[in-house]
Structure 1
Amino acid sequence: MTSSGPWVGNWRPHKPRGPIAALYGSPGPKYGLPGLTGISKHDPTKFKAPMFSFGVRHYQSNSDCSPGPKYLIPSNITRQGLDGTPAFSLHSRIREQRQFQVPGPGQYIPEHSEKMIYRSAPAFTLSGRIKDFKQSQTPGPAAYNLPPVLGPNTVTTAAAPTPSLYGRSKIGGFDEDLKKTPGPAAYKVVDPYVYMQKAPQFSMTGRNFAPGETTRKPGPGEYRPELVTSTRFKAPSFTFGLRHSQFIAPLIVDVPE
């Protein structure tokens, strides 16, 4: 701790009382944190940029056999193109172009331009049969089978019920013993109202009276409908005064004789 030059100030170097971290070459705790580069053990608290890989070399690259430098490049070819004097080739003389012949007025047919201006009906032409038509064997009308429209196995139409008729069994039939055949009386007559329209039917029952009813009711002759004026117009009627009773005593007045 000595110096060849003069000391400046009151401070002089002395022995440290304790260890000083700056005097040691230890890397310190900075390597204890996870790294910020790469994908392995990256710090989860820091942003990670996208990473791309270069991939592996394809296997066919090793099998390609390049020809190598066996090609002979001409000396007049550089990286900028041909180098040297211009070279020309001899070609045949081109034919002279004919003068363009403009059509005259007689070449135009304006009467045939009606289809381009006005509406016209479609027109079709009949051309000859091509040669390939003989080789194509198209089926005729008899080769197609339409679906049946009769019977239970219909495709496009609704099938009606199709009962079948079977032969009469010989065992236990009526032809073995005629005594087992039913007679006419064995059949019941079907009511015609079953298969025809039925008319309304009414029944006549006796008159029912309330029990203990002894009140005499008026008959039809007791009513006088011609005197009823509540349902039709009636002419006005007037009276001459009060009608006296026939049992009142007559008025007796003394009249001189």
Structure 2
Amino acid sequence: MASADPWVGTWRPHKPRGPIAALYGSPGPKYALPGLTGTSKHDPTKYKAPMFSFGTRHDQASSDCSPGPRYIIPSNITRGGQDSTPAFSLHSRPKEPELFQTPGPGHYYPEHSGKSIFRSPPAYSLSGRSKEFTTNLTPGPASYSLPPVLGHKTIVTSAAPTYSLCGRSKMGSFHEDLKKTPGPAAYKVVDPCIYRQKPPQYSMTGRNFTPGETREKPGPGAYHPEQVTFTKAKAPSFSFGLRHSEFISPLIVDVTE
């Protein structure tokens, strides 16, 4: 595709790949001078004032620049090495190693080497059954469960369509409330007595009746005239009271001076 830029001799103008200093009138912010604040990248030609920081106190008051007397040197170590004085301990005496005894001719059984040297037929023994074979039990026919042939979850046979009588779901039905707005019954009716004049109110209580002749009255047998003592003299009555002590002083009412 031909470009619209004209030719200047044998050279055609094109877009420069980088900024050219001759295209700008002043250097502007091209020079990044070092800062005068802080310790990082400070201008070496300027004076730097002393700085102090609020550091935290170390946990150890003394520095660990040298071990000092922290090492505990054993008492048997001298400048010439370990002390060679005899040392004793309360250990038991070790057992002396027994000498190896070479077996004699009676320890060998050459008659048992026939199976290792000569060809021998197979031999069988009537020994008891090993207990290890009890763990390798082969499952019987009743251990396998065949796939079902009834219902809609069949594997080896074709299943007919099945239907169920389940309840109608509220999700996706015609009476589903997608907006989730409250109905008229969700609002409480405001009492008119709050914003209007309250009218007189009456209650329907039960009627009270005065007592008539239907009330029960006591008969002649309910009275005891022989026990009346207000209108006639009462005969003397005695009781078996407590006996007073002879040592109690009598009550003196009239005192003669």
User: TM-score scaled by structure 1?
Assistant: 0.21
User: TM-score scaled by structure 2?
Assistant: 0.21
User: Which structure has the greater CA radius of gyration?
Assistant: 1
